[in-house]
A and B are shown apart, each in its own frame.
Chain A
Amino acid sequence: DAKTTQPPSMDCAEGRAANLPCNHSTISGNEYVYWYRQIHSQGPQYIIHGLKNNETNEMASLIITEDRKSSTLILPHATLRDTAVYYCIVRPYSGAGSYQLTFGKGTKLSVIP
C-alpha cells in the first residue's frame, strides 16, 4: 500500500475551516484515499473517501490533486467536537480482497474556542 505523510498536529479556530493535508506521492492507479478520525480512544470513524474526483458529504470535503499525489480534507466549520486524530489511508481496490487498513500516526487536530 502507498505510504502517507501527514503533519503531526494542527490547530484550528472554532467556526473556521480546518484543512488537513496528506501526501501520498506513491499512490497507484487502483488506490483510493480514505479518511478516518479517532476521537480520544473511541473506534475510528469513517469520514470520506475518493479516487480522483473531489468528494463532499455531510461531514467533510475531500480535494485530491490532479496528479493524485496529495489530498486535503476540509472540515468547513470546525467545532470543538471535531478535535480528534485524523488519518489519511490509501487502500487498493482490485476486486476481492481483505483490504485491511494501515493506520499511521495521523494529524492531531485541536479546535480552539
Chain B
Amino acid sequence: DTAVSQTPKYLVTQMGNDKSIKCEQNLGHDTMYWYKQDSKKFLKIMFSYNNKELIINETVPNRFSPKSPDKAHLNLHINSLELGDSAVYFCASRSAGADTQYFGPGTRLTVL
C-alpha cells in the first residue's frame, strides 16, 4: 500500500540511450512533481503537473519529457541520455488545498 511508488529503483544505462522512469500515487492527489537530486544532494524541481496538465517546467533540456496518462501517474521519459543526467530522481504528489508533498523512494539513474 505504498503511497508514491517509482520504478525502477536503480537504472544503469549507456550514454545516448532513451529511458523512462515511472511514478504512481494511490493517494488521490491532484498534483505531481518530478525533482532531480544531483551528486551534491541538491534538490531541484523539474516539472509539476496538476490534473494531467503541465504547470511548472523549469529550465530542463527538452530531452526530458514528462507524460501524465492519468491523475495517478506521472512518468519521466529521457532521450539521448548524457553523463550529466546521472542523479537521483524523485517523484512527489500533493493534494489540492494541502501543503504537504509526499515523496517517492527515488530512482538512482547512472549514465555510463
A and B assemble together: no
